[in-house]
Amino acid sequence: METLKKDIQKGITEKTVRMTGAEAVIKCLLAEGVDLAYGYPGGAIMPIYDEIYKYQDQFHHVLTRHEQGATHAAQGFARVTGKPGIVFATSGPGATNLVTGIADAQIDSTPLVCITGQVGSHLLGSDAFQETDIIGISTPVTKWNHQITKASEIPEVFAKAFYIAKSGRPGPVLIDITKDAQFEEFDFSYKKCEKIRSYRAIPKLNIDKVKEAAKLINSAKKPFIVWGQGVIIGGAEQEFKNFIEKTDIPSASTALGLSAIETKHPLNVGMVGMHGNYAPNVLTNSCDVLIAIGMRFDDRVTGNLETYAKQAKVIHFDIDPAEIDKNVITDVAVVADVKESLVEIMQYVHKTEHKEWMNEFHKLYDVEMKAVINDQLNPTKDGLTMGEVIEGINKETKGDAIMVSDVGQHQMFACRYADFIKTRSNVTSGGLGTMGFALPASIGAKMGAPDREVVAIIGDGGYQMTCNELGTILQTKVPVKIVVLNNSYLGMVRQWQELFFDKRYASTEMVSPDFVKLAGAYDIEAVRVSKREDLAAAIKTMIASKESYFMEVIIEQEDNVFPMIPTGASVSDIRLS
C-alpha cells in the first residue's frame, strides 16, 4: 500500500486497488499534488468528507463560512500560486452558492476545480431534496463541467478536469458526483491527462506573424504597449521585461496585469482603464502602433470602441483565439503562448529609443500629479483619503505585500497607488467585479504565500457581504491584515450619483455596525483611525503584527477617485475632476 500511495501521488500508477468513489476523489487530488481545499459539507457530499477526515495527515480542508467564500479563497490561492484552487460543496444551495465565485474565476481566467455532491442517480430529475441541475446552471460560467454517476468515471474525469483547468487560458471546471457514485466500489488506478482530442490548449506559434509584428514595431515612431494578466498567467514576466527594455516602448497595465513588472520600472507608465492614469489613456489615441499583450480589450479599458486607437496599427498577442478581433480589430494577431511569443520576437525587434515619445507620457503624468495625485497623497482637507492610506501601507511594506482588494472606489485607489516589486501581488476581482471578494480571497492568498504579507483592502459595503469569513480566520488563525476604508457609502455608486445623477444618493448611504467590536468578537486585534496624525503608527503596528489584524479607517465621505472615463466616452476624454 505504501508503494501504491507514492505512485498515486506521482500520478503515474497503472496499478489498481479496490476502493469507493469517495476515496478515489481524494486519491485523484493527491495524485495532482493537491493538499489543500476549501469548502462546506452537506448530505450529498458527506461520503467524500468522511474520506477527508481519514486523510487529514495528507490533506487539509478549510471550512469556510459560506460556499461563495470557499470559491473566493480558492481564487486567492490560485492567483498567488498559479495552481488550481480546490472547492467542495454539497448539492442544491451548496452548489448554487458557488456560482458567483465560479463566474468570477471564469472571466478572470483563474483555475479552479469545484467538486459538488449530488443526489443519488436514481433521483436525478425528480426534484428531490436539495437537487439542482448544477451542470446546466454552471455551463455558461465554467471552462468545462461533467456529472459523474458511476465511480469508475472518477479517475478519468478528474485527470481531464485538472488538465483543462490548468492548460492554455486557465479557468474553472466543475465536477458533480452523485451520492451513489461516491459509495460505489471499483478498481482504482490513475493516470494524469496530457492531451485531449480536439482540444488544443496552446496554439502553434506562427513565425510569419511574429515577423509581421516585429516589422511594425521596428518602424513605429510612437509605439505603445498595454499588457494584461496573460503575462502573469503565462509566467512571462522576465521575457516581457526583456522585450520592453530592448524596444524602449512605454507600457501600461490593465488592473489584472499589475505587478507583472515593478511599479517603478522606467517604462511602466501606469494603468489604463476607466480610473487609470491620465497619460496612457489619452495617448492611446496618439500612438501609431498599439501592442496588446495578454489582455482582452475589456470595455473598461477601451471606452468607446468607435474612437479607440483608430489611428494605430494594432498587434495582439494572446493565447485565446476567441479574443482576437472580438472587440478591437487587429492588424497582426500572434496567437500562442505569450512566453514563447516574446522569446521568439526578441530576435526580430531592434534595439531602439523613444525618448521624445516617452516625454509625452511624463508631461501628462505631471498634469495628473498636480490635478489629482498630490491631493490624494498630500491632502489639505481634514478628512483622510484612500490614496494616503495605500501610500502609508507602501511605506511600511516597501511594496513587498500582496494587496487583495475588493470592488469599488477603494479597489481603484489600491490599483492606482499600491507599489509592487514582485509578480502575483495584485489580487482583485476584475471582470465580474464581485463585492465581498477580498476578505475570503486574502485567506487563500495568505495560505498560498505564507511567507508574504497579505493586506486586504475593503470598502464598508463589500466587507459586510462576506465578513462572516472572519470565522474562518478565527478557526484557521491565518494571519491576514484587513483594512476597511469606511466612508459610510457605497462609494463608487455614490460617485456616479454625484457626477451624473445630480447628487441623488439613492440607497447608497450605509449604516454599519461597530467594525472594531465585530473583529474583537472573532478574537482579532482591531483599531479605528480617524485622524491623520494616528495613521502611520496604526499601519506600522498592523504590519508588525504576527497575527491577523483589523484596521478601520474613517475616510472623507465624498472622496472621489479620478481620473475617470465616463461611460460611453473616448479614452482621450478622461476627466481629471
The CATH number of whichever domain residue 67 belongs to comes to 3.40.50.970
Q: Is residue 577 part of a domain?
A: no
Q: Find all residues with CB under 8 Å of 450, minimum gap 6, and list them.
A: none
Q: Which position has the grid cell 489543500? A: 36
Same domain for 170 and 214, yes or no, is: no
Dihedral in degrees, nearest 10, Cα atoms 171, 174, 175, 177 = 170
End-of-domain residue from the set 361, 394, 425: 361
Q: What is the pLDDT of residues 474-507, one digit of tens each?
A: 999 999 999 999 999 999 999 999 999 999 999 9
Verify whether residue 130 is a known catalytic residue. yes
Sign of the CA dihedral with 334 first, then 225, 429, and 282 last: negative
For residues 215 and 139, state if they share a domain.
Answer: no
Q: With bands split at pLDDT 50, 70 and 90, how would you rate the model's confidence at 6?
A: low
Same domain, 167 and 286: no
Q: What pLDDT does 4 receive?
A: 46
- Look at residue 559 and tell me if it is in a domain: no
Work out the angle between the directed axes of helices 386-397 and 409-417 (0-180°, nearest 10): 40
Q: Is residue 308 part of a domain?
A: yes
Give the pLDDT confidence score for residue 14 in this predicted structure.
Answer: 60
Asked whether residue 401 is domain-assigned, the answer is yes
Q: Are residues 151 and 275 in the same domain?
A: no
CB contact at 8 A, 178 and 148: yes
Whether residue 92 sits in one domain with residue 26: yes
CB under 8 Å to 53, separation ≥6 — which residues? none
29-58 average pLDDT score: 97
Q: Which residue type, as a one-letter code, is found at position 16?
A: T
Establish if 212 belongs to a structural domain.
Answer: yes
**Mean pLDDT value across the chain:** 96
Establish whether 6 is a catalytic residue.
Answer: no
Judge if 179 and 212 occupy the same domain.
no
Beta bridge partners of 40: 89
Non-local (6+) Cβ contacts of 179 within 8 A are: 43, 44, 45, 47, 117, 118, 119, 120
User: Is residue 374 one of the residues assigned to a domain?
Assistant: no
| Per-residue pLDDT tens digits for 128-164 | 999 999 999 999 999 999 999 999 999 999 999 999 9
Instruction: Assess if residue 367 is contained within a domain.
Output: no
The pLDDT tens digits of the residues spanning 67-104 come to 999 999 999 999 999 999 999 999 999 999 999 999 99
Phi then psi dihedrals of residue 15, to 5 deg: -75, 165
CB 226 within 8 A of CB 252: yes
Catalytic residue chosen out of the listed positions 143, 179, 222, 481: 179
Same domain, 176 and 222: no
Catalytic residue among 23, 51, 67, 396: 67
Q: pLDDT per residue over 453-473, tens digit each? A: 999 999 999 999 999 999 999
What strands, in cross-sheet order, belong to the sheet with 481-486? 426-428, 402-405, 454-459, 481-486, 549-554, 525-529
Tally of domains in the chain: 3
Tens digits of per-residue pLDDT, 159-206?
999 999 999 999 999 999 999 999 999 999 999 999 999 999 999 999
Neighbouring residues of 372: CB distance < 8 A, sequence distance ≥ 6:
278, 562, 563, 576, 577
345: pLDDT strictly greater than 80: yes
Average pLDDT over residues 246-268: 98
Both 129 and 88 in a single domain? yes
Residue 11 predicted with pLDDT over 50: no
> In this model, does residue 1 exceed pLDDT 80?
no
Catalytic status, residue 129: yes
The whole domain housing 355 covers 207-361
User: What does residue 513 show for φ and ψ, rounded to 5 degrees?
Assistant: -75, 180
Strand 525-529 with 85-89, pairing: unpaired
Q: Is 182 a catalytic residue?
A: no
Catalytic entry in 492, 542, 551, 564: 492
Which of 9, 130, 510, 558 is catalytic? The answer is: 130
Question: Are 405 and 537 in the same domain?
Answer: yes
The 3-state DSSP class for residue 474 equals helix
Residue 13 is predicted with a pLDDT of 54
Query: Catalytic annotation on 224?
Result: no
User: What is residue 485's predicted lDDT score, i.e. its pLDDT?
Assistant: 98
Please indicate, yes or no, whether residues 213 and 187 belong to a single structural domain of this protein: no
Residue 383: the pLDDT is 94
The CATH number given to whatever domain includes residue 295 is 3.40.50.1220
Domain co-membership, 128 together with 214:
no
* DSSP per residue, 377-437: HS--SSSB-HHHHHHHHHHHHTT-SEEEE-SSHHHHHHHHH---SSSS-EEE--SS--TT-
Identify the domain boundary among 330, 361, 392: 361
Nearest in space to 182 (alpha carbons), one of 41, 11, 69? 41
What does the pLDDT read at residue 15? Answer: 77
Over residues 317-336, mean pLDDT: 98
pLDDT in tens, 306-319: 999 999 999 999 99
Residue 20 and residue 162 share a domain: yes
Whether residue 151 lies inside any domain: the answer is yes
Instruction: Judge contact between 289 and 216, C-beta under 8 A.
Output: yes
